[in-house]
Amino acid sequence: MSSRKLSQGFAVIISAPSGAGKSTVCRKLLQKNKPLRYSISCTTRAPRPGEKDGRDYHFLSSEEFKRRIHRDEFLEWALVHENYYGTPKRFFDDELAAGNVVILAIDVQGAHSIRRKRPQTVTVFLLPPSWRSLRERLQGRRADAKDVVERRLANAKGELNQARYYDYLVVNDNLAEAVAQIDAVIIAERLRVGRQDLSLDGLPDLAAGRR
């Protein structure tokens, strides 16, 4: 990824139905592009096997989450699958002000809310290769009971209907290919003229007349 300075950073939201692989895609993107910043969401759901507080999510009690809502610490928050999820406001705004690219893995409700408040946000919807593959992946989660799987599948239908409102659609049929496609989106968005630092100090030597 180019290291040229941006006049203002931007955020890239990746949304997908539960089980479509957005967390894995984000992890691979961060491994590939070290300059990216990842916005760690807060949630009241219990950690899944292998998840760590402060790495995958900030795991909070319902009481603590509601206190943070009251203190206006979230850029957005929503009740999803009977649990609260929220995006910390301070990290998001500080990183963009510093000219960084922030990656977020959030649901369609959160994406809509952030896009309304921060219109320059880029949105990517990650599609499963098929409905059958989505069902099989959710059923393969040992931590989720059958009723939880069915509820997530029911919610997925509504989430898929929101895909048309996103900037980009990527099918996660092949993980490496999906990561490469989203990486290409980020590179293209960085190259937008409106995001560039066009001051003399920010331009290459040739453009500034220094040969």
Residue 160 is predicted with a pLDDT of 87
**3-state secondary structure string, 37-54?**
EECCCEECCCCCCCCCEC
* Residue 154 phi, psi dihedral angles, 5° rounding: -65, -40
Please report the pLDDT score of residue 211 as a whole number: 46
Contacts within 8 Å (CB) and 24+ apart, 92-95:
92/11, 92/39, 92/118, 95/9, 95/37, 95/39
Residue 147 within any structural domain of the chain: yes
Q: Is position 171 within any domain?
A: yes
Q: Please give the torsion angle defined by the CA atoms of residues 189, 191, 197 and 201, in that order, rounded to the nearest 10 degrees.
A: 150
Q: What is the mean pLDDT of residues 97-105?
A: 94
Q: How confident is the model at residue 147 (pLDDT cuts 50, 70, 90)?
A: confident
| Containing structural domain, residue 174 | 10-191
Average pLDDT over residues 124-153: 74
Contacts with 173 (C-beta within 8 Å, 6 or more apart), sequence order = 129
On whether residue 105 sits in a domain, the answer given is yes
Task: Read off the CATH number of the domain in which 109 is found.
Answer: 3.40.50.300
Structural domain count of the chain: 1
pLDDT above 80: residue 152: no
Whether 208 maps to a domain, the answer reads no
The token pair that represents 156 in the structure block: 């997925």
pLDDT tens-digit series, residues 26-85:
999 999 988 899 999 999 999 988 899 999 999 999 999 999 999 999 999 988 878 999
What pLDDT is attached to residue 127? 87
Whether 165 has a pLDDT exceeding 90, the answer reads yes
Query: Is 55 inside a domain boundary?
Result: yes
* pLDDT reading at 1 higher than 50: no
Q: Is residue 1 part of a domain?
A: no
Q: Mean pLDDT score of the chain, rounded to an integer? A: 86
Q: Is residue 52 part of a domain?
A: yes
Whether 178 is covered by a domain: the verdict is yes
